Amino acid sequence: MASDLAFSIVCVWSFVSPIVGMPPFLSSRAQLLNDDSSYATGSNVELKGKEWAVNDLLMMLKLEEISEGLKTSLYPPAVHFFQTKASIDKSGVFEIIRIMPKGAILHVHDDSLVDLSWLIRNVTYRPGCYMCFTRKRGNVIFKFHEKEPAADEECDWKLVKTERSNYVDADEFDNMLENNISLIVEDPTNFYKNQYDVWSYFTDFFQSFRSLFSYSDVMQDAYYEGLRQFHEDGAQFVEIRSALPPVYDLDGTTYDEEYTLGKLEEANIMFLDDYSDSMGSKVIYSRTNLLMRNYFYVYLCHCRDKDRVTMKSKIELAMTFYQKYPDFVSGFDIVKHENLYNPLLFYWEELQMPSNTGVDLPYFFHASETNWQGSSADENLFDAILLNAKRIGHAYGAVKHPVLLNELKKKDIPIEISPISGQVLKHFYDLRNHPASHMLSHGYPVVVSSDNRAAWGASPASHDFYELFMGIASVKADLRLLKQLAMDSIR
């Protein structure tokens, strides 16, 4: 192909040092391009042996897919994931990325660790599984119980087995369940009107997912299976944010956070026994932020006492867990839609407790998962950095804060980037405009992750790596970027 040749020429002209005898204009140009690309993530990586051949193949395929995208304007990263997943799955670049080692995947929620297909095709077949479509929203939720649970405000419970038997084809029934829980729709742009709209379906998803995941007999299996899926997709390690939700038994008994943590740790140990080439997983205890706030209202008065007391007890719990399970608990986070819930500033005194009492508790905050520069959601970034967060989730606004960018580089705080999450939750449409593009070209530390991938049917890591490599990074970014990202995530 002529375009392959041309691309090689472009690459050569971009990366080579000025050649003796080159006209001064072209020489200055090559120097400027050289200087510029030397900042990019991966530019200092050296490829070895066979990696050169892989890179040649990777870049040939990348160029072909870009050329095709330029012709059709249907370039996958510029189009919604739901509408391009099928074509990504056929992509040659994706095939290479799929089999590559991806290092550590560091921003994953427990209620998306395992895919929906497994939950439905394995868990809902177990005895004692009841289901209902909620009266308000129509999303399906499940309950394991000894006998048919009594109807309640939200539900008339039916045995899944009976419901399934009413269908000629069990597969059709299972697909119906999966479609009900998943966010995937044919025309996401029009179906989800705005960020709040997609978040309301996202909340339904959590309710459905957790109703299966929180059953005591399921949780360990699901955690193990999730780790297996990540391992199969090239992850060497997974760090999982969990609210440590109350596990329930067949008779309705529920247990506390430490019981849940114990269940997960056992699953992790079983997994490590079976997969000795894996580094397994750790858990970030993630407190769900419960108090909705007035828009832009930053509480500086004493009316916030009740919620602060609860948060204080959760931070104390996190400190205990971190000391008691040093090999399994890595730290603490607060999660929820930032534009609607209390900012970190609300809890600044509680969040200083560990450092004030000389107890170590690493923080891994979500911050600035918002398009509103200068809002209190955006300013969570300032607090995350002041509170010495080890990594920060999303941080869409970081590129708009020069002083914070310096801090991220100086303190080596990576941003956890989940490309598809940002698209599905309507922060971006065309991923080529994702702010991580700026971070990669300037060499700020980032790690790639899949967030709540089960909600949108993405693979544990490969789809997000594909979107980043093809859409967020430069056209010229090559294997060196992917290698750097994997190395950084492990470090």
Tokens of 221: 């299996």
Nearer to a second copy, 239 or 407 (CB): 407
Q: Which of residues 185-224 bind a second copy (CB under 8 A)?
A: 189-190, 193-197
Among candidates 479, 461, 453, 480, which has minimal Cα distance to 182?
A: 453
Query: By C-beta, is 32 or 99 nearer to a second copy?
Result: 32
Site for a second copy in 335-354 (CB under 8 A): 339, 345, 348-349, 352
Of the candidates 289, 296, 393, the one whose C-alpha atom is nearest the C-alpha of residue 337 is: 289
CB 334 within 8 A of CB 350: no
In which element (H, E) is residue 39 found? none
What is the rounded CA–CA span in Å between residue 98 and residue 25? 42
369 Rama class: left (phi>0) / alpha (psi -120 to 50) / beta: beta
Residue 181: Cβ within 10 Å count: 25
Residue 19 lies near a second copy (rule: CB under 8 A): no
Helices (H), strands (E): how many in the chain? 22, 11
- By CB under 8 A, the residues from 233 to 262 that bind a second copy are none
Only one of the segments 2-10, 117-125, 137-145, 255-263 lies at the binding site for a second copy (rule: CB under 8 A); that segment is: 2-10
Q: Please report how close the Cβ of residue 110 comes to a second copy at its closest, in angstroms.
A: 28
Check residue 386 for interaction with a second copy (CB under 8 A).
yes
Q: Among residues 369, 379, 416, 467, which one is catalytic?
A: 369
In order, the DSSP letters of 84-109 are: HHHHHHT-HHHHHHHHS--EEEEEEE
Least distance between a second copy and beta carbon 232 (Å): 32
Q: Which of 78, 272, 279, 490 binds a second copy (CB under 8 A)?
A: 78
Contact call for residue 6 and a second copy (CB under 8 A): yes
d(CA 181, CA 121): 13
State the Cα–Cα distance between residues 417 and 395, nearest whole angstrom. 8
Nearer to a second copy, 15 or 275 (CB): 15
Sequence-distant (6+) residues with CB within 8 A of 440 are 40, 41, 446, 468, 472, 473, 474, 477, 481
State the minimum distance, in angstroms, from the CB of residue 312 to a second copy: 16
Residue numbers 355-384 binding a second copy by CB under 8 A: 371-376, 378-379, 382-383
Please identify which residue in 36, 146, 152, 274 interacts with a second copy, judged by CB under 8 A. 36
Pick from 59, 63, 267, 395 the residue near a second copy by CB under 8 A.
Answer: 63
Long-range (24+ apart) CB contacts under 8 A made by 139-143 are 139/180, 139/181, 139/204, 139/205, 139/207, 139/208, 140/177, 140/180, 140/181, 140/208, 141/207, 141/208, 141/211, 142/208, 142/211, 142/212, 143/211
Distance CA(123)–CA(259), nearest Å, equals 21
* Known catalytic membership, residue 369: yes
Closest distance to a second copy from the beta carbon of 490 (Å): 26
Encoding tokens for residue 418?
């989940």
Looking at 21, 25, 86, 251, which residue binds a second copy (CB under 8 A)?
25
Q: Give the three-state DSSP class for 269.
A: helix
> Residue 111 CB, nearest distance to a second copy (Å)?
24
Taking contact as CB under 8 A, which single stretch among the options 88-96, 163-171, 218-226, 295-303 is the one that binds a second copy? 295-303
Instruction: Judge contact between 461 and 234, C-beta under 8 A.
Output: yes
In the bound state with a second copy, the residue whose beta carbon lies nearer, of 330 and 441, is: 441
Q: Is 16 in the site for a second copy (CB under 8 A)?
A: no
In the DSSP assignment, the letter for residue 398 is G
60 lines the binding site for a second copy (CB under 8 A): no
x-or-dash string of contact with a second copy, 437-466, rule CB under 8 A: xx--xx------------------------
Q: Per CB under 8 A, does 153 bind a second copy?
A: no
By CB under 8 A, the residues from 401 to 430 that bind a second copy are 401-404, 427-430
Residue 290: name the closest of 305, 307, 304, 306 by CA.
307
Please state the closest distance from residue 347 (CB atom) to a second copy, in A: 11
Can you tell me which of 74, 170, 290, 292 binds a second copy, judged by CB under 8 A?
74
Query: Which of 284, 408, 413, 477: binder of a second copy (CB under 8 A)?
Result: 477
Kindly state the DSSP code that residue 57 receives in the 8-state scheme: H
Q: In terms of C-beta density within 10 A (0-12 exposed, 13-18 middle, 19 or more buried), how is residue 428 classed?
A: buried
Tell me which of 80, 109, 337, 394 is the catalytic residue: 394
Q: What is the DSSP letter of 461?
A: S
Nearer to a second copy among residue 216 and residue 371 (C-beta): 371
- Binder of a second copy out of 73, 150, 276, 410 (CB under 8 A): 73
Q: How many residues bind a second copy (CB under 8 A)?
A: 78
> Which residues does the annotation mark as catalytic?
369, 394
